[in-house]
Structure 1
Amino acid sequence: MTVEAAAVQYAYRHIENVDWNGIQPADGQFVFVTIDARAPSIPPDRAAFTLLADGEQYAPITPEYGYPVDLDVPGDGYTPDDGDADRRGWLLFETPAQLASAPTLRLDHDPEPEEWELSVENATSPPPAWEWSVDAPNTVAPDETFEITITAENVGDGAGTFRGAVNFSYPLYKPEGFDIPLDPGESNTATVAAEARDAEPGRELEYEVRTPTGETTVTVTVEGETETATDAG
């Protein structure tokens, strides 16, 4: 078995509904570890793994609010009990937001345990903190393409990525994720393109913006007035 990749995330996008994303922030930090267990004839159970950090042991956790997507590590969730599953996938742990030393992945098995020190420098750094805003036009012309702009600032003491999603309800239900990597004190923007294609004049187009620290609804109105019939004479 090998450890393929490891990463710290302070939040992750997840499938909330089939066509929408939610954002799950960590109480501390999430540590994702992708392992490749295709070599043994019998892959180890999830319960055989622990994350060692600062004298504590952390068991793998199951994502609580939907399946994570667009992670910083490759693969799907590690599910060795699924006979049809690939034996390569990620384990998810949650630890305090700043560790004193790099974490270690431990596998308990015969004839003796194995350990891998993980190269995740953010694990020992202070966490980020976020301020953010969103901007979009109040009105657009019929069939116009326009942008929804998200601005984020890292007001914390450590680097991190501001992860969010814009959930569309027109012309189709779909999510558009965005990531804004920021060092402490930095700010930057992400843009998501939207369109009023085939929208009737006067229609209000709503977009749900999800972030690690809150959510808001953006409403854009299609210009023009809906014609009404009048009786003659």
Structure 2
Amino acid sequence: MPSRRAYLATLTAAGLAGCIGEEPATGTDTDSPTATTAPGTAPRPDVIVEAAAVQYAYRHIENVDWNGIQPADGQFVFVTVDARPADSVPARSAFTLVADGEQYAPAELAHRMPVDLDVPGSAYTPDREGPDRRGWLAFETPAQLDSAPTLRLDRDPAPAEWELDADLATAPPPAWEWSVDTPDTVAPNTTFDIAITAENVGDGPGTFRGAVNFSYPLYAPRGFDIPLDPGQSGTETVGAEVRDADPGREIDYGVRTPVGETTVTVTVESDSTDTETE
């Protein structure tokens, strides 16, 4: 009979938390901007704020067929803007995130190829022609703000501000305990599940984001997201297969999360009665 192998890692509430709208009461981190202009500012220029989200971590392309996870020191606030209608396209540096009397400049992410964000588009790079005049800006802020953030655009004749409906930014951060379970051995030519279980032991909602990196039959990552309210736990399964693997072969799977990583190994049983499963 296959046995159960588990790995456990714990993050306290003071530790790593959280990607923007990573998703409020439903356990998700995604928030959308309102259509109001902050008092005392000029009417908004023809730049559109499409979406905003708070995340405590994001997946990124570590190499062509491998995903890593980048956690925030506090939280990431992502905002997608569309400057294609504007006559004068603002530079990245013209935008700031304003919260609690502080201004935050757009961040240069440690890993510049994030995937599966909670906002649309690619990175905002207005120095290029075409669709790159629409994209997201990332801001790094403390894990909990006292007031909802606003996006500010400094340009003539007067600055513009957008109030972001980002309730998650003012919520306490989540914290995680997690484990991963696989069978020790599997029959030849079968499929099986890699089960990732997470518990939110923090004081605020969030999404436990991670990836399982495969080395067989192809090198490829498979992401998983587990949205959880405080005190909740949940399990996500990632399917794997050992079709055409030689009996006795050991296959490794790398599991990455915001609070740790591990490798689990599954051995293909030596079985003289190989049968193809559906």
Per the normalisation by structure 2, the TM-score is: 0.80
Q: 1:7 aligns with which of 53, 56, 74?
A: 53
Separation (CA, whole Å) in 2 of partners of 1:62 and 1:206: 33
Counting matched residue pairs gives: 226
Q: Is the 8 A contact 1:132 1:153 kept in 2?
A: yes
CA RMSD in angstroms, aligned pairs only = 1.1
Secondary structure of the corresponding residue to residue 47 of structure 1:
helix
| Counterpart residue identity of residue 48, structure 1 | A
Gaps of 5+ in 1: 227-233
Segments of 4+ in structure 1 off by > 3 A? none
| Counterpart residue identity of residue 141, structure 2 | T
| Counterpart residue identity of residue 172, structure 1 | L
Separation (CA, whole Å) in 1 of partners of 2:143 and 2:190: 44
Q: Which has the higher contact order (CA 8 A, sep 6+)?
A: 2
How does 1:1-233 map onto structure 2 within 5 Å?
A: 1-224=47-270
| Counterpart residue identity of residue 213, structure 1 | V
Separation (CA, whole Å) in 2 of partners of 1:83 and 1:42: 13
Secondary structure of the corresponding residue to residue 135 of structure 2:
strand
1:41 Cα deviation from its structure 2 partner: 2.3
Q: Is the 8 A contact 1:79 1:85 kept in 2?
A: no
Q: Is the 8 A contact 2:187 2:271 kept in 1?
A: no
Residues 200 and 66 from structure 1, CA distance in 2 versus in 1: closer, same or farther, beyond 3 angstroms? farther
Secondary structure of the corresponding residue to residue 28 of structure 1:
strand
Comparing 92-101 with 63-72, greater Cα deviation is found at 63-72
| Counterpart residue identity of residue 247, structure 2 | P
Secondary structure of the corresponding residue to residue 13 of structure 1:
strand
Q: Is the 8 A contact 1:202 1:225 kept in 2?
A: no
Separation (CA, whole Å) in 2 of partners of 1:150 and 1:135: 7
| Counterpart residue identity of residue 126, structure 1 | P
- The Cα offsets for residues 80-115 of structure 1, whole Å up to 9 and x where unpaired, read as 012244321100000000000000100000110000
Q: Is the 8 A contact 1:150 1:191 kept in 2?
A: yes
Q: Is the 8 A contact 2:188 2:271 kept in 1?
A: no
Identity of aligned residues (%): 75
| Counterpart residue identity of residue 240, structure 2 | A
Per the normalisation by structure 1, the TM-score is: 0.95
- The Cα offsets for residues 153-179 of structure 1, whole Å up to 9 and x where unpaired, read as 000000000000000000000000000
